[in-house]
Amino acid sequence: MNEIIITKENFDEEVRNFKGMPVLLDFWASWCGPCMRLSPIIEEIADEYDGKIKVGKVNVDEQPELAAAFKVESIPLVVVVKDGAVTAGAVGYRSKEDILEMINK
C-alpha cells in the first residue's frame, strides 16, 4: 500500500509544496459505498505508479478543514494536484482509465 494518509498537519509537505510528480487525492469516508468501491482502484494506481504518482487519502470525517478547503460537497472526490495547483477533479465512482486520464492531462 503506497497511499499516504493526508491530514491538515502534513498537507503542505505532502501536497501543496510537493514538486516533481502529480498528487492524486482521494476524498472519502468509511460510510460511503461508492468510496469503498473506488478504494481498490486507488490502491492499484498507488502500487502500479509508485514513484510516478503520489497518492493521498483524505478522510473527510477526520479532516473537515481539508474537505472545506477543497469545497467537497459529495464523495468520493478524486483531485489531481500538480506543483501545488489543482489540475483536475471528479466526483463519484470512476474507472481506473478515467482517473489515469485525469492525471495525464
Please tell me which residue in 15, 23, 25, 35 is annotated as part of the active site: 35
Q: Is 69 an annotated catalytic residue?
A: no
In the sheet with 23-28, reading across from the earlier edge strand, the strands are 4-5, 54-59, 23-28, 77-82, 85-91
| Alpha helices, H only, the chain | 11, 33-48, 64-69, 96-103
Cα–Cα distance, 17 to 100 (Å, whole number): 22
Q: Do β-strands 54-59 and 23-28 pair in parallel, antiparallel, or remain unpaired? A: parallel
Please tell me which residue in 32, 36, 90, 91 is annotated as part of the active site: 32
Could you tell me if 23 and 15 are in contact, meaning their C-beta atoms sit under 8 angstroms apart?
Answer: yes
Q: Is 32 an annotated catalytic residue?
A: yes
**Catalytic site positions:** 32, 35
